[in-house]
Amino acid sequence: MARPKEFNPERALAKAMHLFWCLGFENTSLEALMKEMGIAKQSLYDTFGDKRALYLKALTRYRDQTNGRGQKMLNEIPLVRDGFAKLLYGIAAETREQHERGCLLLSANLQRDLKDAVIRDFLRDNQARVEAIFREALVRAQKQGELSLQQDPAALARFFIVTIQGMRSMARLKSDKKALEQVARVALAAFNSSNPL
């Protein structure tokens, strides 16, 4: 009979995710992970695999949490424009520490080895998922009369992804709430425009 694990795998994974988020893959040592997660090397390997496998699990956890929250918010707020406003102004309102930490997936993209097909494909799949979430909301906005039928929901979904990534990069370099709010206002003007992107 196998002995029960003496630690909570979900809690340990959450701690690993936080460490990767703060330090990046290359700068996160196995020793730091074991200390942060409170587990021995063998338990780490038995439960999560090697450091790279753990990193992929951490990215997956982050993706699922972030996309789940975003989709829930866009579905629950009656006006789609208000949902995007909450998302964009929410980035502007984050603390300096949150801005400096940035987005785990954006950091993974900027720091990855360009020959790493697994991470590349993971991030491409994530981008497709986010595009689908945004596109679905923007189609609803057109049906509700919030968005011109001349707008292309797919192109606009990509525009909002690029805007969010740009805001994250800008905020990481300099945490400037006013400047970020200006970007948010410009982006949200797409809802008032009849000019297709």
Is residue 36, in this structure, part of any structural domain at all? yes
Is residue 4, in this structure, part of any structural domain at all? no
Mean pLDDT calculated for residue range 129-137: 98
Q: What is the per-residue pLDDT across 12-21, written as a single tens digit (0 to 9) for each?
A: 999 999 999 9
Say how far apart CA 66 and CA 98 lie, in whole Å.
14
Say how far apart CA 164 and CA 76 lie, in whole Å.
20
Say how far apart CA 100 and CA 23 lie, in whole Å.
11
What range does the domain containing 81 cover?
9-191
The amino acid occupying position 180 is L
Q: What is the per-residue pLDDT across 106-115, written as a single tens digit (0 to 9) for each?
A: 999 988 888 9
User: Which tokens is 122 given?
Assistant: 């993971």
pLDDT band of 1, cuts 50, 70, 90: very low
Count: domains in the chain:
1
Is residue 196, in this structure, part of any structural domain at all? no
